[in-house]
Chain A
Amino acid sequence: MQYFQKRGGKWHLTMAGKDGAAGILFILPFLIGFFFVFMPLIVESLRYSFSDMQVSPEGYSLTLTSSHGLGNYIRAVAIDPDFNLQLLTNLGQMVTRIPLVLIFSFFAANLLNQNFRGRTAARSILFLPVIISSGVLVALESSDLLVNTMSATSEMSGNELASFLNVSGFLTEYTSLPVSVITGLSSAVNGLYDIVIVSGVQILIFLAGLQSISPSLYEASSMEGATQWESFWKITLPMISPLILVNSVYTVIDLFTNENNEMMTEIKYTIFNEIDYGYGSAMAWIYFICIAVILVIVGSLISRYVFYYDER
């Protein structure tokens, strides 16, 4: 009981206790929000996923689905022919995209951290995606027929260029990389825009981290004769590693819950167009569990290599 102390027959708050109380008062908005706004919604949504919902003019009624309420889940995993395939393709796409986003944003942040003319302008342009890749704008973009055709034509010329250079053919012929890796790489290059557009926040976070590395570290290492290459691996990377963790967590969240993610649109479609709330919720929960598992795997993989400057 470090928070309370008995003094003169009465319980008093110790200093630590007062601090704790103050802390709880400070996070009160979150506590209220989490327990009285957020949790009820989660519980409610779980209940939907275990039920069949009948909507009538007076309201709605819930009945437990077959096999102790697991009916919707069983339908998604074992009966629906599309769901598994869709889920797996989606997860595969996203998982390959995570390292690309991380590498690109790290690279871009390093670039923007150097001194060159027009740096401010370049910075503001690279953060623009934070604005233009959000909400309704993305939805409109993906439904825009004209722009899609236009970009398809420009992509075609891009493909012509690719076939002219024939990089992927070159790679298959002269390297022993597996074909799946090469196709993955070339599709990543073709999808550069998709990568750039989701990296805005990550670039900002990396840039912040790079700025906070003390220059004296670099000075000292160059005095000792370290090359830039060495100081990158020995100073920049370890110092930035906590942010790699932060960014990978954010990237996973952002990629998977993005509004134009295929799985998300599918869930939305099931709920609102097919008016199948129970099944939609079950799909969403399965999807959510997959995200959580990926998040835990990514987090634990990366946090093994994270270096904390002031380990406490």
Chain B
Amino acid sequence: MTTARLGRILWSVVRVVIVIGICFTILQPLFLKFSVSFMDEKDLYDASVKYVPKHFTLNNYALSLSGLSYWTTLLRTAALSATVSFVQLVACLLTAYGFARFRFPFRKILFACVIFTMVVPPQVIMLPLFMKYRFFDIFGIIKAVTGNTVNLIDTYWPFFIQAATTMGIRNGLYIYMLRQFFKGMPKELEEAAYVDGCGRLRTFVQIMVPSCVPMMVTVFLFGFVWQWTDSFYTSLYLSRTQVLSTALSSLAVNVYSQYEGFGGTMNFISPGFVSMINNTGTVLTVIPLIILYVFCQKSFVEGIERSGIVG
């Protein structure tokens, strides 16, 4: 009896050590960024400064806020991410339900195609993708009517088209997750609805959708986060309009030119300065996500847990 008790105590100690260790591994780089963002450039070259800045300053934030045009960019990014992830959530929900509940010819092959869309490296289709939206046309109809193709680059349409046709970022994964969820739901629910004379679409909307809200929150959050941090597609579709991810990748250069505008002199962009500004920008980009995450955490975790992604 006592050995069992001893064993349990020992295990819980080991567990605490492991959990804290893993959490530290994840949090340490984040924390480093956070502390660097408050440092003065002098602190970077000072070997005695490790995490706590000696010359505490908010200067980096001031520079980054103006360099990113933070508040307008933030609003734009939030609106874009929210719409895109909502649209792709609806499209993926429909597709997943279709795959989970109905039998139709070539179902297995088509589902393999869903996986296929995930496996193709985006670089492979990058140039054709750009060409497609630069000279956009639907079966030559638009050209036949107006005499010209449409240029959709620098509009938000490419995002919406990709999202509505479930070709957005990692949509294959969402379809997979949602399909597994729907497969795990008891069939009796729908059968009861059919018996009561409810149509297929109405059954889906009124019975199935409300029961998978936690799962939907999860998919929405994934979509939101990955859209928010994506610079691959945004830099492809948007060249003049800035969202946070694209603004972030050119932040240091922007700040540098502004710095000169303020009458400051800098003969070259020092790597320390770049790193400081980039870290500040990263913190500014991540903070809204973390706030969102903390709010959705409960239903996020529950959603995944209840999904029963088995089989």
Contacts and interface: CB of A to CB of B under 8 A. Distances in A.
Contacts, number: 266
A150 B271 CA distance: 13
Contacts of A40: 128, 132
A279 interface: no
Interface in A233-254: 239, 242-243, 246, 249-250, 253
Contacts of B95: 26-27, 29-30
B62 interface: no
Contacts of A77: none
Interface in A286-300: 287-288, 291-292, 295
Nearest to B161: A37
Contact of A25 (B98, B176, B278): B98
Interface residues of B, number: 98
A34 B95 CA distance: 12
A164 interface: no
Contacts of B289: 131
Interface stretch (A15-23, A65-73, A178-186): A15-23
Interface stretch (A85-93, A138-146, A215-223): A138-146
Question: Among A16, A130, A137, A308, which residue has the most Cβ atoms of chain B within 10 A?
Answer: A137
Interface string A125-139: 111111110111101
B98 A122 contact: no
Contacts of B293: 124, 128, 131
22 contacts: A23-B101, A23-B103, A34-B117, A34-B165, A42-B124, A45-B124, A48-B127, A48-B128, A116-B19, A131-B229, A136-B229, A136-B246, A140-B249, A144-B278, A145-B274, A147-B36, A211-B305, A212-B308, A243-B310, A257-B119, A271-B126, A287-B121
Q: Which 8 A-B pairs have the closest CB atoms?
A: A23-B102, A26-B98, A33-B165, A135-B229, A146-B275, A27-B98, A44-B128, A20-B104
Given A145-B274, A150-B32, A196-B22, 19 more contacts: A24-B98, A29-B165, A33-B166, A34-B113, A45-B124, A48-B128, A128-B30, A131-B286, A136-B231, A136-B245, A140-B281, A146-B36, A147-B36, A201-B173, A208-B305, A246-B176, A246-B309, A250-B173, A271-B127
